[in-house]
């Protein structure tokens, strides 16, 4: 056990959120709740990345008054990575939701167990 | 002086085939490429009632026996094992976090010379006041290009999955008319409160989205956030005034040409670097004064292109989910 | 400020747990929406305003709208129709 657990509370929260989202994926039977769990896991990863780039007492990476020292701003790289990630995650969830709608139209339920049983009964 | 081709000559030319392919018409020379539609899943009334009664009935019908003790034990074991697994995962991650360098310290290995370089030379090299925007649209512009294509491909896949033909059955037993009827069940028809709110809010949302896009290189924001805001404004307008109003300016054709134009503009604008020796940092476009609205070279047009793609994608997702087609 | 951050983080975990425990699908989507809003406030605290704007527009706006439309398509939003049999038993 290291000494930095309480200092790194943001990363700790990200770890707990990741675990909760993964538990949702494993335990929920409803497809929509599974998708929400995956979205929570996404947010946890983004939170972890942004906490890595944060530096206490420094400003957002927007140049003000021509100050261009590296000691004045936080790390801009995680912000850029997460910015692209957020927009990709919405297209991922749209794709999964459309698959859910297709499954519902065919089997009239959202329960993954029932769907797999019906697929088994169809002989596929 | 241009000469008009005859119909027969034109039908042999490349442009004829290209536009036919673009419009999705069938090419009789290539034969039919069509996936055989699946048999719709059918169940009798009795089966339906049995399913609604619960999961136990399904087990009864499927296996001819009650849920056996083994199955029940397995379900219990699965639940317990997943809870234990998640607990172990959280504990391991927390253990790792406790050994990481403290949050907020300046001398972490994350804050290396790369971010220093971006901050110290970013304003001179890209001309953008917002360093994040300069980073994702100048230093790492190809990354953003790939990401815009991810959005486009996601829209195409959703279109494939949710498209409804006008008359044909889609295999799940739903025609376009049925879907429209289904869509209209919960839709408020000319709701006064919604329409008044949209009348006041939509122009404000649009102007804010445009501001965020156009100021992407000067302050927080950029193509992604501004495009999402404009898409949300379009969705509000659609919900308040219905499809007849929005289809006057946004149809499938609009989506196709706007996305195609924006993405190919992005490709062409960034491929100039291959002609200047594959060096992204040499810019042939003047950067202007930092802080002015017309500055920082290509970042402003690229922001507009990304914003158009994102706005179209968000609106297209919503319309495809609602109606199955534009 | 630090206490405020602690509160927000605690609220995040609370939201994530109550999403998984909630019985009603509509409720869990609303809770996910508030999760995204809290996340966007945390981005502001972490000095990333770009992320805050994007998360507020995308996470709390468009993603939740897509979830709502999906619920409507599967007839689960009224709670009366037999959209999701799992909700009843």
B317: pLDDT strictly greater than 50: yes
Whether C38 and C8 have beta carbons less than 8 Å apart is answered as yes
Q: What is the pLDDT of residue C87?
A: 37
Cα distances from B320 to residues A33, A36, B312, in angstroms, run 22, 20, 12
Structural Rg of chain C based on CA atoms: 15
For residue C49, the distance in angstroms to the closest alpha carbon of chain B comes to 6
pLDDT band at residue C84 using 50, 70 and 90 as cut-offs: very low
B56: pLDDT strictly greater than 60: no
* Whether A11 and B100 lie within 8 Å, measured CB to CB: yes
pLDDT in tens, B75-126: 899 899 999 999 999 999 999 988 888 887 777 787 888 888 888 887 877 7
Tokens at B170, concatenated: 């889609």
Architecture of domain A9-122: Orthogonal Bundle (1.10)
Q: Which of A34, A46, A62, A92 to mutate to test the interface with B (most CBs of B within 10 A)?
A: A62
Instruction: Convert chain A into a string of H (helix), E (strand) and C (coil).
Output: CCCCCCCCHHHHHHHHHHHHHHHHHHHCCEHHHHHHHHHHHHHHHHHHHHHHHCECCCECCECCCCCCCCCCECCHHHHHHHHHHHHHHHHHHHHHHHHHHHHHHHHCCCEHHHHHHHHHHHCC
B259: pLDDT strictly greater than 80: yes
* Whether C58 and A90 lie within 8 Å, measured CB to CB: yes
pLDDT band at residue C86 using 50, 70 and 90 as cut-offs: very low
φ, ψ dihedrals at B100, nearest 5°: -75, 155
* Whether A11 and B147 lie within 8 Å, measured CB to CB: no
* Whether B79 and A27 lie within 8 Å, measured CB to CB: yes
- For B215-237, the DSSP string reads TTTTSS--HHHHHHHHHHHHHHH
B173: pLDDT strictly greater than 70: no
pLDDT in tens, A78-120: 888 898 889 889 999 999 999 998 888 787 778 888 788 778 7
pLDDT band at residue B174 using 50, 70 and 90 as cut-offs: low
Minimum mean pLDDT range among A110-114, B52-56, B65-69, B319-323: B52-56
* Whether A101 and B104 lie within 8 Å, measured CB to CB: no
pLDDT in tens, B268-286: 888 777 777 666 655 667 7
Output the pTM of the full model. Answer: 0.82
For residue A24, the distance in angstroms to the closest alpha carbon of chain C comes to 6
pLDDT in tens, A12-61: 999 999 999 999 999 888 889 999 999 999 999 999 999 888 888 888 88
φ, ψ dihedrals at A62, nearest 5°: -125, 120
List residues bridging with A30 in a β-sheet: A111
Which helix (H) or strand (E) segment is B276 a member of?
A: none
* Whether C53 and B318 lie within 8 Å, measured CB to CB: no
Q: Over chain B, what is the mean pLDDT?
A: 78
Q: Which residue has the higher pLDDT, B4 or A41?
A: A41
Interface check C1 vs A, CB under 8 A: no
Q: What is the pLDDT of residue B261?
A: 93
Q: Looking up tokens 């709208």, which residue turns up?
A: C65
**DSSP secondary structure code for residue B136 in this structure:** I
Tokens at A32, concatenated: 């929509």
Of chain B, the percentage scoring pLDDT greater than 70 comes to 74
Q: What is the pLDDT of residue B297?
A: 75
Residue B286: how many other CB atoms lie within 10 Å: 10
Q: What is the pLDDT of residue B87?
A: 92
pLDDT band at residue A70 using 50, 70 and 90 as cut-offs: confident
Structural Rg of chain A based on CA atoms: 21
Q: What is the pLDDT of residue A2?
A: 76
Tokens at A7, concatenated: 């200092």
B148: pLDDT strictly greater than 80: yes
d(CA B117, CA B127): 14
Where are the domains positioned within chain C?
2-76
For residue C17, the distance in angstroms to the closest alpha carbon of chain B comes to 13
pLDDT band at residue B243 using 50, 70 and 90 as cut-offs: confident
Q: What is the pLDDT of residue B55?
A: 53
Interface check A18 vs B, CB under 8 A: yes
pLDDT in tens, B298-311: 788 888 999 999 99
Q: Which of A9, A10, A13, A49 to mutate to test the interface with C (most CBs of C within 10 A)?
A: A13
Where are the domains positioned within chain B?
45-99, 127-323
φ, ψ dihedrals at A30, nearest 5°: -80, 130
B28: pLDDT strictly greater than 80: no
Interface check C54 vs A, CB under 8 A: yes
For residue A123, the distance in angstroms to the closest alpha carbon of chain C comes to 24
d(CA C21, CA C15): 10
Whether A5 and B57 have beta carbons less than 8 Å apart is answered as no
List residues bridging with B130 in a β-sheet: A62
Alpha-helical regions (H) of chain B: 7-12, 14-22, 45-53, 55-63, 69-99, 113-126, 131-134, 141-162, 176-184, 192-214, 223-241, 243-246, 252-275, 299-323
Q: Which residue has the higher pLDDT, B122 or C61?
A: C61
Interface check B188 vs C, CB under 8 A: no
Tokens at C34, concatenated: 């508030």
Whether B259 and B309 have beta carbons less than 8 Å apart is answered as yes
Interface ipTM: 0.87
Cα distances from B17 to residues B20, B30, B259, B264, in angstroms, run 5, 11, 22, 21
Tokens at A63, concatenated: 């140049």
pLDDT band at residue C78 using 50, 70 and 90 as cut-offs: very low
């Amino acid at each position: 056990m290291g000494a930095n657990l309480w200092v790194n509370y943001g990363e700790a929260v990200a770890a707990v959120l990741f675990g909760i989202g993964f538990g949702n994926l494993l335990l929920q039977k409803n497809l929509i709740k599974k998708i929400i769990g995956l979205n929570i896991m996404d947010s946890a990863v983004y939170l972890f990345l942004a906490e890595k780039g944060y530096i206490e007492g420094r400003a957002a990476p927007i140049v003000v008054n021509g100050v261009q020292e590296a000691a004045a701003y936080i790390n801009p790289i995680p912000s850029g990575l997460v910015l692209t990630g957020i927009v990709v995650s919405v297209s991922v969830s749209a794709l999964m939701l459309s698959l859910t709608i297709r499954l519902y139209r065919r089997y009239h339920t959202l329960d993954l167990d029932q769907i797999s049983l019906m697929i088994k009964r169809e002989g596929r | 002086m241009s000469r008009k081709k005859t119909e027969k000559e034109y039908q042999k030319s490349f442009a004829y085939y290209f536009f036919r392919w673009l419009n999705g018409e069938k090419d009789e020379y290539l034969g039919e490429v069509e996936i055989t539609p699946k048999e719709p899943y059918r169940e009798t009334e009795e089966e339906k009632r049995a399913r609604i009664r619960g999961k136990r009935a399904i087990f009864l019908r499927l296996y001819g026996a009650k849920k056996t003790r083994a199955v029940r034990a397995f379900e219990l074991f699965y639940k317990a094992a997943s809870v234990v697994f998640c607990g172990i995962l959280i504990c391991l991650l927390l253990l790792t976090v406790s050994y990481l360098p403290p949050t907020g310290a300046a001398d972490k290995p994350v804050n290396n010379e790369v971010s220093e370089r971006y901050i110290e030379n970013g304003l001179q090299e890209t001309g953008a006041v917002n360093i994040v925007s300069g980073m994702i649209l100048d230093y790492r512009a190809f990354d953003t290009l790939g990401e815009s294509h991810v959005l486009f491909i996601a829209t195409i896949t959703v279109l494939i999955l949710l498209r409804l033909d006008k008359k044909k059955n889609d295999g799940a037993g739903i025609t376009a008319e049925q879907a429209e009827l289904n869509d209209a069940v919960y839709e408020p028809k000319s709701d006064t409160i919604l329409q008044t709110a949209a009348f006041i809010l939509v122009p404000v949302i649009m102007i804010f989205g445009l501001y965020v896009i156009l100021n992407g290189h000067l302050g927080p924001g950029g193509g992604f956030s501004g495009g999402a805001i404009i898409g949300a404004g379009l969705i509000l307008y659609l919900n308040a005034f219905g499809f007849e109003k929005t289809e006057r300016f946004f149809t499938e054709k609009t989506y196709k040409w706007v996305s195609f134009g924006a993405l190919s503009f992005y490709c062409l604008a960034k491929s100039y670097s291959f002609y200047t020796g594959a060096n992204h940092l040499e810019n042939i476009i003047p950067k202007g004064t930092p802080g002015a609205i017309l500055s920082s070279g290509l970042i402003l047009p690229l922001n507009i292109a990304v914003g158009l793609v994102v706005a179209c994608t968000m609106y297209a997702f919503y319309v495809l989910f609602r109606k199955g087609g534009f | 400020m630090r206490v405020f951050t602690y509160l927000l983080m605690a609220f995040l975990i609370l939201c994530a747990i109550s999403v998984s425990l909630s019985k009603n699908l509509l409720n869990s989507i609303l809770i996910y929406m508030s999760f995204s809003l809290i996340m966007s406030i945390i981005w502001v605290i972490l000095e990333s305003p770009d992320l805050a704007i994007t998360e507020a527009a995308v996470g709390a706006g468009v993603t939740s709208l897509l979830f709502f439309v999906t619920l409507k398509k599967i007839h689960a939003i009224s709670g009366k129709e037999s959209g999701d049999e799992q909700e009843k038993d």
